[in-house]
Structures are given as structure tokens and as C-alpha cells.
């Protein structure tokens, strides 16, 4: 049996309304965290008489982790939820809410309604709890006829925590926040407006204007380059090879502001990780690894293994990719990527075999 287990997670946070209060007020507010999880499953899985499959693990920050299970019996199709309590699980203040629905690849629901499940924090099991159950016969007939592509299970977990915002309204903390925001804004303006720039960064035919003091402060590679009598320092010019200019632009934005444009990691996490590794940007590298691990699938597993097999691999990503390959080898080997790897006899395939049997 081929199994497709692909998950995608998004986290949305919002807080309750904060009224205008005195400067020394320390309010307790309710903070709501929503984790959206999308699980992709091959339709053929439902044709088996009785079987079950687990989703990738997804997180609600530091509070808890979740795993979904899809269980097919002769009579029903069941979705179950497994909870792993996190380090700060005790901070959850209200019942946990879970909404679940089944849809096609376009996001259109294949069963009449979304199911809302509410768990009491004290009663939720550490085992699996049923959150959705469908009559198998009803589900497989009329509305499902002709739909043989993959299914998506959409799951949203909502948790509430009580946070005491000590000094949230104090003039001192407000000033600190304003100062931090002002510094980030000014650094971004330096980058965008080329204000007082003193070094040119030539990347794939595009020139970025930078400030060697900022680059050196953020990267050990640039620090070594500008603290010695190198050609780059003498000419105020750095030629950067084998890096996509769009990727470098986002890395440079991160160097200056600690942030990247919205959606950057969804589009170019692999490229950003390689540049982060090259310039010793450890925090950015860790963010890329985490992002890629959450979005690993049969289709991109080989690409991520190839990335992890490079001279300075991302060790956490490497371990996760190897584990994924071990668990879902049949799926990975059914992809075009595997076919290409066999045809081209990619050099990293030998190391892959060593990793799998280590």
C-alpha cells in the first residue's frame, strides 16, 4: 500500500482588546493561538478494507503537539487526535477547540459540514480521542464518485492562555518598544535608500549596496573579510558566486532587520538556508530548517536529503529527512525525483544509503 502523508502548518495569534489604563497597570489578557494544519492523503488509502495512518506531528507553540490518525474500518472513516503535552501546557486557560473537515485538492468540502470538537483541559486524553466519524458507505457513494485524486484533511486547533502583561502600559516599556521599532525602521531605510553605504555586493549581475559595519556585526564571514586587508576591503567590492540575487536580497534584509518579506520561506527556503550556512547566520539557518521539516513531503524529500548531504549540512533537517525516507520509502521512490536520481546516478545517493543504514 502506498501512503501519502503530507502536512502543512500555519500559526495565527491574536489577543483580546486592551483598554486604555494607567501607566502602572499590569493587566491579564487572554491570548488566543490558532494552528491550522493541512494533511494530504492519497485517495487509494480509503479503498483498503481496514487500515490506519498517522499524520506528521504539528505544534501549538510550546503548549502542546498534535498528531491526527485516519482509521478506515468496514463501517466508518474515523479521524482521531493524539495530544502530547508541552512544557507550558498548564498555562492553557480554556477548553481546547478543534474544527475538522475533509476536502478535495481545491479545498472544496467533500462531506456536508465542518465538525467542531471542544475538549476540557482536564479531560483530554493522552491517548487518541475521536474528533470526526463518517459512515463509510455514505461517504464513498454519490458525492464522491469520480473523485480519485488526493484528499485534504483540514484541522484548526484553538487554545487560549492567560498572560499577565507586566508593565505593558508602563511608559518605560512603551519607550523601549518604540525605540526598537525605530532602530529597525532606520536600518531598513539604510538598506533600501543606500544611505552611507560603503560596499558593493555583486550577486548574479545585480549590485546591492551595503554597510560593512552592519555586515561584519551579523556575519563572521563578513567580519573576517572586512577586518583584514583583503581585496574586498581595499576595493569596497564583494563578488558573490552561485547565489540567486532574489535569495540574497531576502538574506540581506534579514541581516539588517531580523525579518524577511512575507512568504519568503515558502518560496525559497532551500536557497536561503544555503546562504545562511555560507555566511554563518545560525538563527536564520535554524528557521529555514524548521520550516522545511514542517513541509517535508514525498516529492521534496530527496531534494532536502541532497541539501543535507552537502559539505556543511543542516543536521536537524538531515536526521528528519532520513527518518521520513525510512518511514515512507515507497512513496519517495515513486516520485519523478527518485527516477531522476537513478538516471543521473547522483553522487549523494551513496551517502544516502550510508545514512539510511547507519
CATH at 24: 2.60.210.10
Residue 236 lies in a domain: yes
| Domain-terminating residue out of 164, 198, 230 | 164
Q: Is 314 a member of any domain?
A: yes
Cβ count near 175 (within 10 Å): 10
Query: 343 pLDDT band (50/70/90 cuts)?
Result: confident
The answer as to whether 181 is a domain residue is yes
* In a domain? residue 122: yes
Judged by average pLDDT, the poorest of 157-166, 184-193, 313-322 is 157-166
Q: Are residues 73 and 22 in the same domain?
A: yes
Pair type for strands 199-203 and 237-240: parallel
d(CA 243, CA 240): 7
Q: Is the pLDDT of residue 142 over 50?
A: no
Do 132 and 187 lie in a common domain? no
pLDDT at 258: 86
**What are the tens digits of pLDDT across the range 272-308?**
999 999 999 988 998 888 888 888 888 888 888 877 7
| Structural domain harbouring 130 | 6-164
pLDDT digits (tens, 9 = 90+) for 120-131: 655 455 556 778
Same domain, 115 and 197: no
Residue 251: give its domain's CATH number: 3.30.710.10
**Total residues found in the chain within this entry:** 358
The answer to whether position 307 is within a domain reads: yes
Other beta carbons within 10 angstroms of residue 7's beta carbon come to 20
Higher pLDDT, 274 or 105: 274
312 has a pLDDT exceeding 70: no
Q: Whole-prediction pTM value?
A: 0.51
Instruction: Mark 305-314 as b/e (b = at least 16 C-beta within 10 Å).
Output: bbbbbeeebb
40 & 110 share domain: yes
Radius of gyration of the CA atoms of the chain, in A: 25
Looking at the structure, tell me whether residues 229 and 276 fall in a common domain.
Answer: yes
What is the percent of the chain with per-residue pLDDT over 70, rounded to a whole number? 72
Nearest to 92 by CA among 32, 170, 164: 32
Q: Quick check: 2 pLDDT over 60?
A: no
158 shares a domain with 305: no
Boundary of a domain, candidates 109, 134, 164: 164
Q: Do the domain assignments include residue 80?
A: yes
- Same domain for 151 and 178, yes or no, is no
Residue 154 lies in a domain: yes
Same-domain status, 117 and 193: no
User: Structurally, how many domains does the chain consist of?
Assistant: 2
Residues 23 and 73 in one domain: yes
Say if residue 193 is in the same domain as residue 149: no
List pLDDT tens digits, range 249-260: 999 999 998 888
Tell whether 1 is covered by a domain.
no
Q: 154 with 177, same domain? A: no
Residues 35 and 126 in one domain: yes
Residue 195, pLDDT > 90, answer: no
Domain boundary pick from 101, 136, 164 = 164
User: Residue 10 has what pLDDT?
Assistant: 57
Q: Which of 268, 284, 265, 267 is nearest to 276 (CA)?
A: 284
Amino acid at each position: 500500500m502506498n501512503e501519502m502523508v503530507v502536512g502543512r502548518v500555519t500559526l495565527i495569534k491574536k489577543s483580546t482588546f486592551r483598554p486604555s489604563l494607567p501607566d502602572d497597570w499590569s493587566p491579564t489578557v487572554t491570548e488566543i493561538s490558532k494552528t491550522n494544519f493541512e494533511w494530504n492523503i492519497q485517495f487509494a488509502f480509503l479503498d483498503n478494507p481496514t487500515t490506519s495512518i498517522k499524520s506528521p506531528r504539528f505544534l501549538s507553540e510550546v503548549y502542546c503537539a498534535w498528531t491526527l490518525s485516519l482509521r478506515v474500518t468496514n463501517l466508518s472513516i474515523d479521524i482521531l487526535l493524539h495530544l502530547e503535552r508541552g512544557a507550558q501546557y498548564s498555562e492553557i486557560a480554556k477548553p481546547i477547540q478543534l474544527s475538522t473537515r475533509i476536502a478535495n485538492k481545491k479545498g472544496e468540502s467533500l462531506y456536508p459540514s465542518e465538525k467542531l470538537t471542544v475538549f476540557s483541559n482536564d479531560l483530554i486524553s493522552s491517548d487518541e480521542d475521536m474528533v470526526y466519524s463518517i459512515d463509510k458507505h455514505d461517504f464513498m457513494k454519490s458525492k464522491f464518485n469520480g473523485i480519485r485524486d488526493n484528499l485534504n484533511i483540514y484541522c484548526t486547533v484553538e487554545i487560549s492562555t492567560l498572560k499577565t502583561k507586566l508593565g505593558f502600559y508602563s511608559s518605560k516599556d512603551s519607550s523601549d518598544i518604540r525605540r526598537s521599532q525605530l532602530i529597525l525602521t532606520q536600518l531598513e531605510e539604510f538598506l533600501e535608500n543606500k544611505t552611507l553605504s560603503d560596499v558593493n555586493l555583486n550577486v548574479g549581475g545585480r549590485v546591492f549596496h551595503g554597510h560593512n559595519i552592519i555586515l561584519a556585526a551579523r556575519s563572521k564571514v563578513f567580519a573576517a573579510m572586512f577586518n583584514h586587508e583583503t581585496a574586498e576591503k581595499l576595493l569596497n567590492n564583494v563578488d558573490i558566486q552561485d547565489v540567486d540575487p532574489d535569495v540574497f536580497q531576502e538574506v540581506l534584509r534579514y541581516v539588517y532587520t531580523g525579518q524577511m518579506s512575507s512568504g519568503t520561506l515558502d518560496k525559497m527556503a532551500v536557497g536561503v538556508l544555503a546562504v545562511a550556512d555560507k555566511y554563518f547566520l545560525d538563527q536564520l539557518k535554524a528557521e529555514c530548517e524548521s520550516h522545511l521539516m514542517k513541509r517535508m513531503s514525498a516529492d521534496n524529500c530527496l531534494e532536502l536529503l541532497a541539501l543535507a548531504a552537502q559539505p556543511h549540512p543542516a543536521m536537524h533537517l538531515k536526521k528528519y529527512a532520513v527518518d521520513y525516507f525510512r518511514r515512507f520509502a515507497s512513496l519517495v521512490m515513486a516520485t519523478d525525483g527518485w527516477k531522476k536520481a537513478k538516471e543521473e546516478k547522483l553522487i549523494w545517493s551513496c551517502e544516502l544509503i550510508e545514512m539510511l543504514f547507519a
